[in-house]
Amino acid sequence: MTEEQSSSEVSAEPDAPESPAIEPAKPHAVAVAAASSEPQPEPDMPLLRIEGVVKKFGNFRAVDGVSLDIRAGEFFALLGPSGCGKTTLLRMLAGFEIPDEGRILLNGRDIAPVLPHERPVNMMFQNYALFPHLSVRDNIAFGLKRAGMARADINTRVAEMVALVKLEGMEKRKPDQLSGGQRQRVALARSLARRPQVLLLDEPLAALDKKLRESTQHELMELQNRLGMTFIVVTHDQDEAMTMASRIGVMDAGRLEQVATPRDLYETPTSRWIAEFVGDVNLFEGQVGASEGGRLAVSTRDGGTVYVAEPRTPPARTAVSVAIRPEKVKLSRRAPVAEGSGGRAFNCLEGVITEVSYLGGLTTYKVKLDSGAVVRSSMANTTRIVDAYSVSQRVVVWFTPDDCLVLEQ
């Protein structure tokens, strides 16, 4: 076994026929200290402090100067495109990779010299390797046995974990008698079983179907809250990150681009890239013009003007993008009547609907404006009226300046 494989119950041998047989428990494999036995951080000290961490593979900087504080009990999500360095960052926290630069502090102590199995940190890997020759029950119990837990306590804990991931009745099955999603749930149960202080979860729910994923999300949140664990979850699913996490960090090309609450990330992204990566957005590129009555006029490339609420700090550059989320863009047959604010209470643009996508709870529309730009609008289907608007219909597209955001990069 490699150091990584022997370090914790979740870093088991891969689920492959040639996997070596499980060796008897070794003293050094008693991996993860229980949360209660760890020193508690000082009130203002984050549980985890990541300082300027860099990880290079050859000349390539997979993680490129990441700094981040994570508080005890936080549910933190890492979002970002494939290959941006999420797994590499988690692997450094778990101790499976050594940073080339920077420090990682846990409870105020640099954990560089602490071996993976001595860290109160556990990781559920993206490929969730299970022991192929052990039953569901024994896979979940594996780390508990190694840690010397009493048999009765193991039984209680395993039952709790089996119930959590809804695998009751399957305790005796081997991994090859489970579906991919069920195997992932065993891996999740196994990583949670020892209640580490920090649990790193790399795409933990990716193989679950939508309904099970949603219920497991809520159960994970409940469990995390109940046990006071700190979770750092990597996910590709933005809705999942928004639902579960108290804060989200968005990574791109090894860098942490923004760290914010789900609401702030969505409503006040700090860059055009973030605005486009998190959710859907309409962008109008243009030049900042005059400011009147709290409204900033932005002359768009297509010759129009979009009014935006004046930002607290004026844009440093005149070339900006105006961002507006599709659900904040309304359609109507006639322009809305604005009282008391002249023509600037709403941005009103005219065009023709080119696409209608009915999605159940909402319908999304693409509208080709007379200027040539395409704008997306999504509207909740709050009544059963069929096809409020249809393709080729002429509509007024309108949105308020307050719902627009000025982005400079």
Ligand X SMILES: Nc1ncnc2c1ncn2[C@@H]1O[C@H](COP(=O)(O)OP(=O)(O)OP(=O)(O)O)[C@@H](O)[C@H]1O
Rounded CA-CA distance 314/300 in Å is 18
Of 80 and 286, nearer to ligand X (C-beta) is 80
User: What mask, x for binding Mg ion by CB under 5 A, covers residues 64 to 103?
Assistant: -----------------------x----------------
Q: Which of residues 254-293 bind Mg ion (CB under 5 A)?
A: none
Q: Rank residues 2 and 82 by Cβ distance to ligand X and give the closer one.
A: 82
Q: In the complex with Mg ion, which residue's Cβ is closer, 192 or 251? A: 251
Residue found under tokens 């020759």: 133
- Least distance between Mg ion and beta carbon 84 (Å): 9
Q: Give the shortest CB-251-to-ligand X separation in angstroms.
A: 7
Please report how close the Cβ of residue 253 comes to ligand X at its closest, in angstroms.
Answer: 9
Q: What is the binding site for ligand X (CB under 6 A)? A: 57, 62, 80, 82-88, 126
- Closest to ligand X by CB, 249 vs 326, is 249
**Could you give phi then psi for residue 98, rounded to 5 degrees?**
-105, 125
Shortest distance, position 84 Cβ to ligand X, whole Å:
4
For ligand X, the closer CB: 99 or 143: 99
What is the C-alpha separation between 136 and 189, in angstroms, rounded? 10
The whole-angstrom separation of Cα 241 and Cα 230 is: 15
Q: Which does 84 bind (CB under 5 to 8 A by kind): Mg ion, ligand X, none?
A: ligand X
Q: Which is nearer to ligand X, 125 or 284 (CB)?
A: 125
Chain residues 194-233 in contact with Mg ion, contact rule CB under 5 A: none
Residue 284 burial (CB count, 10 A): 25
What's the sign of the alpha-carbon dihedral 91, 96, 97, 102?
positive
Q: Lay out the sheet containing 330-332: strands in order across.
A: 330-332, 394-399, 347-358, 362-369, 374-380
Minimum CB distance to ligand X, residue 388 (Å): 38
Which contacts of 262-271 are long-range, i.e. CB under 8 A and separated by 24 or more positions?
266/242, 266/325, 267/405, 268/405, 269/323, 269/405, 269/407, 270/407, 271/407, 271/409
Phi and psi based region of residue 233 (left: phi greater than 0; alpha: psi -120 to 50; beta: remaining): beta
Contact residues for 236 (Cβ-Cβ < 8 A; gap 6+): 79, 82, 203, 206
Q: How far is the CB of 101 from ligand X (least distance, A)?
A: 16
**Paired tokens of 340:** 């008391």
Least Å distance, CB 188 to ligand X, is 17
| The entry of ligand X, Mg ion, none that residue 363 binds, CB within 5 to 8 Å by partner kind | none
Q: Which is nearer to ligand X, 33 or 208 (CB)?
A: 208
CB nearer to Mg ion: give 87 or 400: 87
88 binds, among Mg ion, ligand X, none (CB under 5 to 8 A by kind): ligand X
Pairing relation of β-strands 75-79 and 247-252?
A: parallel
**Least CB distance from residue 196 to ligand X, whole Å?**
20
Size of the site for Mg ion (CB under 5 A): 1
Q: Please give the residue ranges that form the binding site for Mg ion (CB under 5 A).
A: 87
